Structure 1
Amino acid sequence: MAHIDLGVDEKIFPGISGPMRYRPETAKPLNELAEVLLRAPHSLTAGERELIAAYVSGLNECRFCCSSHSAFAAAQLDEGMTLVDQVRADLDSAPVSEKLRALLRIAGAVQQSGRKVTTDMVEAARAEGATDLEIHDTVLIAAAFCMFNRYVDGLGTFAPDAPEAYAQVAERIITHGYGSSVTTGS
C-alpha cells in the first residue's frame, strides 16, 4: 500500500500511474519529458532508449520502473527480453554495440552521481560513434529515471509481480505513447 492515499486502486494504477493520477498537473510535464526522451525521433532507437531507462532503474533497484521499462525495451528490440536481461546481468559481455555499451556506462555513472561521468567515458562513447545529442540524452534519461525511480519508491507504490502486466502496458505505450495511457491506465 502506498505511503499516502492516492485515491486510486493500486492494482489498477500501479507504480507511477497512481501518483500521476493523484497530481495530473505534475504528471503532464513528466509524461512530456518521457515522450521526448524515449519516443521522439532520434538516432538511438526507442528500444535502446528504453533499455537505458531499464538499466538505470535496475541499478536503482526500482522494481516497478525496471520491470516496466524492461518490458517496453524488449517489445521494441529484435532480441527482446533476452537482450534486456543480458545487459542488466553483465553489461560487459552483453551483445550490444560498443556505442550502446559506452552510453550505458555513462548512464550507470549518472545513476551513481553526475560527477562520476568522466571525460574519458564521453571520449570513449564518441570514439564508438556516439553523437553529442546521444550523450546528452543518455545523461538526461539516466537523471530523469533516477527521479522517476525515487518518485515511485518514495511513495511506496504497488509493483505487480506478473511480467504479463508490464507486457500489456508496453503495447499501450508503443501504440499511444506516454501520457493518457499511463495516467489513466486505459
Structure 2
Amino acid sequence: MRLDILNHGYSPGTKLLFAVIRLFSGHPLPDAAKLVFYRPDFYGTRAKEFTHEAMRGPSAWSIGDRELMAAYVSKVNESAFCIGAHTATARQAYQDEPRVAAVLADLESASVEEPLRATLRMLGKLTREGTISAQAMREVVAAGVSPQQVKDALAVCAAFNTTNRLADTFGFKLLTPEAYAAGAKYLLKRGYR
C-alpha cells in the first residue's frame, strides 16, 4: 500500500525545486528523492550524507562495484524500486550491462573477480540472516578483500538495507527504463547529496 505522505507536506521552495527538476530532466522526481526532502532534519540530511559517503567516498571499491553491491542487496531484499535504480546505475558505471545482469542472475557462475564475489556473497548472507560470523569475514579477507574494503562494503549494505525497507514501506513507484537511466546518469554525476 502506497503511503500518501510523499505527495504532500513540502515547502513551496521544495515544490518549486521538484518542478524545476521535472522540467530539466523530463521525468518526475523519484520517490527516493522525495523521501529525503520530507523531514530532512529527521532523516533526509543524515541519510544523504551517509549514503553519499558509502557510495562515493574514498574506497578501493569502484563506483560500479558499490552500485552493484547496492543492486545485489536490493535483490536479496526483493526491493523492486532499488533493484531498478541501482542496476541501471551499475550498468552505466561499468559500461557493461551483461556483467551486471550475470551477477544478479547467478553470483556463483558470473564472470566477476573473486574478491567482489566473496564480498557480495557475504553481503547477501548478512542481508538475508541479519548476522555474519567471524569465519565468514575471514573467508572474505582470504579472498583478497582488505579490512577497509570490508568496512566500505558493510556501509553500502547498511545504507541499502535501510533504503530498501523505506522504499517498500512507502511504496516507491517503479520507474520506466528511461527514467531509471536518467536517474543513474544523475547519481553518477552528482552522487547522493
Give the TM-score taking structure 1 as reference length.
0.87
Percent identical: 34
Aligned to 1:49: 66
Question: What one-letter code is carried by the residue in structure 2 that aligns with 1:3?
Answer: L
Q: Give the Cα–Cα distance (whole angstroms) in 2 for the partners of residues 168 and 56 of structure 1.
A: 22
Deviations 1:50-74 (A, max 9, x none): 1001001011111111111111111
Question: What one-letter code is carried by the residue in structure 2 that aligns with 1:28?
Answer: T
Aligned to 1:173: 187
Gaps of 5+ in 1: 180-186
Q: Say whether residues 1:129 and 2:148 are aligned partners.
A: no
Measured after TM superposition, the shift of residue 102 of structure 1 is 0.4
Q: Say whether residues 1:114 and 2:123 are aligned partners.
A: no
Specify which of 157, 164, 170 is matched with residue 142 of structure 1. 157
Aligned to 1:77: 94
Give the TM-score taking structure 2 as reference length.
0.84
Secondary structure at the aligned position of 1:42 is classed as coil
Gaps of 5+ in 2: 9-14, 19-26
Aligned to 1:67: 84
Q: Say whether residues 1:24 and 2:40 are aligned partners.
A: yes
Contact 1:15 1:64 in 2 (8 A): no
Question: What one-letter code is carried by the residue in structure 2 that aligns with 1:122?
Answer: M
Aligned to 2:5: 5
Is the deviation greater in 48-57 or in 81-90? 81-90
Q: Give the Cα–Cα distance (whole angstroms) in 2 for the partners of residues 21 and 123 of structure 1.
A: 40
Deviations 1:97-128 (A, max 9, x none): 0000000011101111332x222321221112
Cα-Cα RMSD: 1.9
Moved over 3 A (4+): none
Q: How many residues align?
A: 176
Aligned to 2:21: none
Aligned to 2:55: 38
Contact 1:51 1:84 in 2 (8 A): yes
